Chains A and B, each alone.
Chain A
Amino acid sequence: MTGRERMDVAMRMGIPDRVPVMCQLALGHYFLHAGIDPLEIWHSTAAFGDALITLQQRYGFDGILINLPGREPEWRKYVASVEEQDGETVIRWKNGWYTVAPPDDLPHVYRENGTRYTPTFEEIDPEKLFYIDPHDLSGLKYPYSWGFENNPVPRGRDFFPEWHWDTLKYVLERVGDEVSVHAEVFSPFSQFMELLDYTSGLMALMDDPAKVKACLEALSDGAIELGRGYARQGAHAILVSSAFAGGGFISRQHYKEFVLPYERKVIQGIKAEVDIPIYTHTCGAIGDRLDLMEETGTNGIDTLDPPPLGNVEIVDAKRQVRDGMFIKGNLDGVNTLLLGTPEDVMQAARERIEAAAAGGGYILSTACSVPPAAPPENILTLREAVESYGRYPIAAARGR
């Protein structure tokens, strides 16, 4: 089987030839390990596409997650200067804003007064919201506009510029027959939290829930449009990124109220047009809400952080979800992949395969993304693990 076929079978709860392996890599990991200038990776569609393919091939992954959109081809025309400062790269833009880019982590955009912009909850008008991309080259703006043009973009099908699909197209053209290529859509709740600072966003749930819901409703429309756009371009699956919906932030009750209805709307909205697998990435403690996540209609759950980062034991998760959703994850990205040895990784991977892979529907992966400084030899061990222990048939673990 090709990686694409293997992933597709696993995401549809079938049994492939072996357990697929695919991790989301932190963008900083590409910066450090792809052998491509980090500034180019962040700002250029082709450089990021090459970085994605380079590391997918190096690590033998069956899939690629496109976790940055295409970039405006003419982005360089907005640059005034580029300089190195204290080990970081600073891009000065012609409008006076500047980007500080560390060598191993996400760049951040600052306004001319040295602050990062976030609107207040009070100034937000839900009718002006459609989609918030926290990774746009010019940072967050409200009302939303792309890049440095500062022309607010109207809601609707033309919201996303043509170049937005370019990374997906670039990767599909090169490896799309062999590798499962997924695109990322931010959940309405994540967009809302990214738009405001997290403290204001979380307090808004208590202060004015009706207005928050109006915002989430509007942001769902944009997420649907983006997901449909990716599906039209040929994405093999969609990841709904919902980092703030775990027990580290909000209660089960708030999840029911502010996450579930809107993620369900997004998933149904995308699937109404193209029936491709859609799965959800929620970090941290989600052990108490797997049933609610399933109610969103998602096909699978990414992450499943184990203790101490989260609270999900893979055996319990597999028992809970049964054949309802595929599972991707549960390896501890910090304590195993970053701080452990290849032997630790092999042991942890083997345990996951033995606990969760029987009957299909399991993809070996770190829970959250692979940290920037995770040693490549640890990551390479994941492929060795599925080759050694992940060939089907796999017997069910005792107790399941």
Chain B
Amino acid sequence: MSVVGRRFRDGEIFVPEVLVAARAMKAGMEHLEPRLAECGVEPAGKVVIGTVKGDIHDIGKNLVIMMLRGSGFQVIDLGINVPAQKFVAAIQEYQPDIVGMSALLTTTMAQMKVNIDALRQAGALEKVKVMVGGAPVTRQYAEQIGAHGFAPNASAAVDRALELVRERKTMQAGAL
């Protein structure tokens, strides 16, 4: 999937091709995952992800999930229309490295800030890195609302997620 991601990023292939590749990867992973678990292979990182409250669009989020899984991440998909409390609860339950939030609409991207504020209030923001994305979301907006990471497309999301996992591990090592 890293080849698929690179070709998608470079505009050589588009969403239908990525979806078909991801379907093939998923079929393959069903056979491989038990073997990888037996061998003690660690995931590249753990991500909890969802489309924010009020937004029922999932294609962007699903593309990011496919790319992340293809790059060895463990991904917990919270689905669509996810309220802030559910993100907070998922952090407590799964202890991820990253929380990903997606929004397609200008009306719902404001919910990302609501979620980040809720994570801060619950004391969860120090434990995870927050990544945001979606059609109307820009790097500037991501910085403005206090997100740690932003990616303009699903392929770039993998690169940024790998960086955030490294940053988080460095932070944790420094805190010890």
A→B interface (CB under 8 Å): 26, 28, 102, 104-105, 108, 116, 198-199, 202-203, 205-207, 247-251, 254, 284, 308-309, 333-335, 338-339, 371-373
Contact = CB atoms under 8 A, between A and B. Distances in A.
Contacts of B11: 247
A102 B17 contact: no
A24 to B, nearest CB: 14
B136 A309 contact: yes
22 contacts: A26-B107, A102-B54, A105-B54, A199-B19, A199-B58, A202-B59, A203-B16, A203-B19, A203-B23, A205-B16, A206-B16, A206-B17, A248-B15, A249-B15, A250-B14, A251-B14, A251-B17, A334-B136, A371-B106, A371-B136, A372-B107, A373-B107
B95 interface: no
Interface residues on B, range: 20 to 34
B106 A108 contact: no
B85 interface: no
A254 B138 contact: no
Most chain B beta carbons < 10 A, residue from A116, A199, A333, A339: A199
Interface of B: 11, 13-17, 19-20, 23, 54, 56, 58-59, 62, 105-108, 110, 135-136, 138, 140-141, 152
Which secondary structure characterizes the binding site on chain A? loop
Given A202-B19, A203-B19, 9 more contacts: A202-B16, A203-B16, A247-B14, A308-B138, A334-B106, A335-B138, A335-B140, A339-B141, A371-B136
B24 to A, nearest CB: 11
Nearest to B62: A199
B96 to A, nearest CB: 24
Nearest to B63: A199
B14 A254 contact: yes
A249 B107 CA distance: 22
Contacts of A250: 14-16
B106 A338 contact: yes
Given A116-B56, A199-B19, A308-B138, A371 B14 contact: no
A373 B11 CA distance: 32
